[in-house]
Structure 1
């Protein structure tokens, strides 16, 4: 079903923005999980028992991939959720979700590896879903297969390519998760839009959110996702956006809360700003390589290169 770190050690650098988005995704998936299931599966209300709580098994999922396994550790948004079905009082299945933000030729392999390890651990039926948030129009992983001497294997999983989702249908949808997808689409458009156009799009979505009949706490979660996922390069526009939102929320008697994910992101941004200042001072001394500066301030090399380019 298809719906729409460097040195000599080979380590992949994960930019701050990617880490921020990972945190946002993990948070918003839990905050809107029931809506997420209904968005993905039109028959969700007939299949899942929403009267029972979901159980998030992220820690159990991490245990399936030891910390020293570099290919799988802390690089991807992954969720494993225990969901009860309507087949029986104690009958439940697992929902495995991956959010993939860039082209990876090994992604389907990874999805299969997760699948068989989850099966080996739980021996329960699992539905796997990949949310593709990249901007590559030709990247559509949806299965893993291999065959040799009469033995074959084919593993298929559900995919949602954000790039392909229709703006009109998303705007017209009464499903809260559609706002999450729309936010990601705006972030993708940000690469080709001017900052003023991006501001207008972001404000439009915020107004639409506030005007709808959505629980206030969910509006707060969705607004936090919009605010931190779609970032302005122009700090004045960021301030203008915040002021506009404050006016809108006061006018609509909507209270915005701050959850743990937002607190964490704010702390990370403060850390990033401090690291940038220290890095600039070290560069002016001309005594250190960029790699050495990266190690001294405990930030990725690409972050240090961006700081250098901004000087």
Structure 2
């Protein structure tokens, strides 16, 4: 007998980079469970994995529709089961989330009539205490207690995953509990992990793109990162990774070239006696920049 494994993602307040969460778990489903739910991973026969079409449910609470974009069928070793993994890559907490999980559970069980193991993943930036239990009870009778597995990324210590060589763990370092002054260090460790995993270029780019969506270094941090990379023994390997460091440098050069060209045009206009207002309209430079160019003529 086969079991059906469902990965469910809530589309409330959908934002574009949610797609990266779905793609990450689709691509590295086995690695995801291995890194964060090893007890589940141990019981699943991954040779039986089969993606299914997404399920659309109407939320009776607020009338919105939500779609289970990641739906995977799999066999349990020796048993059948349905597992719902609810990916919540949002930055806010829902007070009734535990009730929503029960709602999805009920709808899925009603359709498939198989045991279900629900898992919720929270990726918000603050440390919070989410409920992973929904109860229906009366003073005179206890009807049910519904539980689901919970992963709160911000509570995870990113250093615990550096030796795992797990691609999902590498990507999710960007959502774990690092300090602000550890941002560059976290990025360096991601790059080190990528050099060890020897993934194909597409998967490497997926992990790196996911990481950068959630942990983007500013220009100063990028320069510091590059300085540190050059001093690492893995430095050459890191620079050879297919993650567009060379392309990024070219793009920066192009951008600076365009900026120089615009300022040159502004200077020529000022030489011809054009007003600051006219130059600003033509070049879209701000008044302060134009005045500085005029002073330097």
Q: TM-score range by the shorter chain?
A: 0.5 to 0.7
Report if aligned partners of 1:78, 1:98 keep a CA contact under 8 Å in 2: no
- Provide the residue aligned with 1:167 in structure 2: 158
Q: Deviations over 1:207-255 (max 9, x none)?
A: 22332134224322211111223234x467679979999x978766544
CA RMSD, Structure 1 to Structure 2 (Å):
3.7
Q: Give the aligned length.
A: 227
Rounded to whole Å, the distance in 1 between the matches of 2:51 and 2:159 is 33
Write out aligned runs for 1:1-311 (5 A): 14=13, 19-44=15-40, 46-57=42-53, 59=54, 61-62=55-56, 64-65=57-58, 70-73=63-66, 79-87=70-78, 91=80, 93-99=82-88, 101=90, 102-148=92-138, 149-185=140-176, 193=180, 198=183, 200-201=184-185, 203-216=187-200, 217-232=202-217, 234=218, 253-256=240-243
Pair 1:242–1:20, CA change in 2 (3 A): farther
The CA deviation at 1:123 is: 0.8
The CA deviation at 1:35 is: 0.4
Higher RCO, 1 vs 2 (CA within 8 Å, ≥6 residues apart)? 1
Unmatched tracts of structure 2, length 5 or more: 1-10, 245-297
> What's the secondary structure of 1:231's corresponding residue?
coil
TM-score, reference length from structure 1: 0.60
> What's the secondary structure of 2:121's corresponding residue?
strand
Rounded to whole Å, the distance in 2 between the matches of 1:19 and 1:227 is 15
- Provide the residue aligned with 1:285 in structure 2: none
Pair 1:13–1:119, CA change in 2 (3 A): closer
Rounded to whole Å, the distance in 2 between the matches of 1:183 and 1:69 is 32
Whose strand fraction is larger, Structure 1's or Structure 2's?
A: 2
Unmatched tracts of structure 1, length 5 or more: 1-11, 258-311
Pair 1:243–1:68, CA change in 2 (3 A): farther
Please identify the structure whose Cα radius of gyration is greater: 2
